Amino acid sequence: MMLWIKKIHKWASLLIGLQILIWLTSGLIFNVIDHKKARGNAYQQTAMAEQPTLVNKTLLPVRSVLKLYPATLELNQVNILSQPYYLLTQQQGLYHHFVNSYHIVNAITGELTLVDEPFAKAIAKATYNGPGDIRSVALITPPIADFLKHKNPSWQINFADDLDTSVYVEQGSGRLVGHSNSDKRFADFFFMLHFMDYGSAGSFNTIQMILFAFISLWLALSGLIWTLHMLRKGQYRLKKF
Amino acid sequence: MMGGIVNTATLTPLTNANRIAIVENNAIKTTLTKARVIRKKPLKLFNLSHKLHKWLMLFIGAQFVIWSVTGAYMVFFDIDYIHGDSLIINHQNKIKSENLAYSSPTLFQQFPRAKNLSVGMLVNREVYRFNIAKQAVIIDAQSGEQLSPLDKNTAITIAKHLYSGDGKVLNAELITSNPHFGLSARHLPVWQVDFDNFASPSLYISVSSGKVVSKRHQLWYLFDWMFRLHIMDYGDDEDVSNWLLFFIASLGFFAVFSGLVLTYFKVIKPKIISRRKSRDSAKKSRRDNSLSFGDKP
């Protein structure tokens, strides 16, 4: 019986020993890093000034808008860069970051609005209070390396600053997905290692993770039995140490 | 004379033997010291690692068991399931614009301070949702009748409409203050509707918007405990940056590193040696084979 325990412990350690060291190291890094910095919001500000309610009188009646877009699940009055819009949800995910699809309609003129590059740049700039200027812009389809959980196409607006800040604006809704920067990417790298998310699934429920977790159960439990066995046999003696 | 000869004769083999013995002793000594010089380092590393691993794991090994059990729980169960996503039917009912008899300009006339207007469905009727100051309001889009705050029966109807399971409603309770730790205070007030199914699922329906603001089942609470144990947070704030974790994980690093050294000496090295031996013997036997082949022309 003990022979088998020892065999299991040795072979399990051979299979996943290095990953255990990676888990320990990345875990220690999560313990010591500044979590505020790791959020990537160093240069983020809340941009949206609240819309004065006086404007409500000038808005198009929602009924006429909905008549034009009959496949709408929900209509939301939103402000983008202090302008009133109706955001029409065409396909609704359980969360914002799940797959959704939208139309944006100008709430005063009724014009269908697309979040194109200049519009996305303006939205990004309004959320940014750092020292940099826009360096480059790209439209990214998921997976988005900085926001793996986000499943909707988004504009990536890169700023030239000391932290390499990137701002993500969802193409369909004009909503801010979030800011990312070198601090967040540093933490994300170790999350990738800790969760063994080598395929950028944005999840820790991957095959390799489940397999390694299963083997680590065997490693830890066989180690526990081995230690108890040594204790019972009196192999823990201080003068020997 | 004779005696002298005998003496020398008897002496010579003695001295020769002595000389040989001395030479042999030197040879043994040199081989011994050489062997010690070669083997000294790995043995020391092995012994040190063995002691480190054995003693460190006696004190912190229990945490490794906790890490592996809690970690396995967290990765075995799909996180979307833990979040309760599968408890909800994501209805895609479309708004029928002809049902909006009560128009939005009328609404703005009646509630001039209304903000964040939205049009959506509440089970099967069109409704307006908006905020006045921080208060959320729902209005029936056909009649203009105010529906919020929602009563118990409406909350149960909504919960049943959204719930994906087949269980009966056990209980519906209004929560207005002091939410338990699984429910954020910003969602209050809510109706908690409990269902009779595996892991005791509950849906939380906002009294003022009629939307599901939270969904929980027992495996979520268990997950939460697993996470706390995993990050060794025995306070209330779910803080990864605690000193206990730092201390144990730092020691753990040495325990694991020494374990890897043992793996090298106990598993990898013996394998390499036995493989080399078998390769050598295979070579030898191949040579023998080729010889025997050569013998048979």
Mean pLDDT check: name the lowest of A74-78, B32-36, B88-92, B103-107: B32-36
Q: In this structure, are A32 and A48 located in the same domain?
A: no
Q: In this structure, are A162 and A47 located in the same domain?
A: yes
A104 inside domain: yes
Q: In this structure, are A127 and A203 located in the same domain?
A: no
Question: Is the pLDDT confidence value at B1 over 70?
Answer: no
Q: In this structure, are A73 and A122 located in the same domain?
A: yes
Taking chain B, what is the end-to-end CA distance rounded to the nearest angstrom?
71
Whether cis (ω within 30° of 0) applies to the bond prior to B201 is no
Distance CA A88, CA A104 (A): 6
Q: What is the pLDDT of residues B43-63, one digit of tens each?
A: 788 888 888 898 999 999 999
pLDDT band at B239 (very low <50, low <70, confident <90, very high): confident
User: pLDDT over 90 for what percent of chain B?
Assistant: 39
Q: In this structure, are A126 and A89 located in the same domain?
A: yes
Angle at B77 between CA B194 and CA A205, to 5 degrees: 135
Q: B85 vs A94: CB contact, 8 Å cut-off?
A: yes
0.90 exceeded by pTM: no
A71 inside domain: yes
Q: What is the pLDDT of residue B229?
A: 92
Distance CA A163, CA A180 (A): 9
Q: In this structure, are A161 and A218 located in the same domain?
A: no
Question: Position of tokens 């206990």?
Answer: B244
Q: In this structure, are A97 and A50 located in the same domain?
A: yes
Q: How many domains does chain A have?
A: 2
Name the CA dihedral angle for B270, B273, B279, B281, rounded to a multiple of 10 degrees: -100
Answer yes or no: is the ipTM higher than 0.90.
no
pLDDT mean over B122-130:
92
Question: Position of tokens 């000391």?
Answer: A162
Q: In this structure, are A202 and A227 located in the same domain?
A: yes
Distance CA B35, CA B30 (A): 9
The answer to whether A63 contacts chain B (CB < 8 Å) is: yes
Centroid of chain to Cα B7: 87
Q: In this structure, are A62 and A138 located in the same domain?
A: yes
Q: In this structure, are A208 and A98 located in the same domain?
A: no
Q: In this structure, are A122 and A156 located in the same domain?
A: yes
For residue B144, give how far its alpha carbon lies from the nearest alpha carbon of chain A (Å).
14
User: pLDDT over 90 for what percent of chain A?
Assistant: 66
Q: B104 vs A210: CB contact, 8 Å cut-off?
A: no
Radius of gyration of chain A (CA): 26
Provide the edge-to-edge strand list for the sheet that holds B135-140. A112-113, A101-106, A83-91, A74-80, B114-122, B125-132, B135-140
Q: Which of A16, A31, A207 to mutate to test the interface with B (most CBs of B within 10 A)?
A: A31
Q: A203 vs B79: CB contact, 8 Å cut-off?
A: yes
Q: Which of A13, A61, A76 sits opposite B263 (nearest CB)?
A: A13
Q: In this structure, are A59 and A152 located in the same domain?
A: yes
Among A96, A94, A92, A97, residue whose Cα is nearest residue A74: A92
Q: Give the domain range for residue A18.
A: 2-36+189-236
Beta bridge partners of B210: none
A241 inside domain: no
pLDDT mean over B98-119:
88
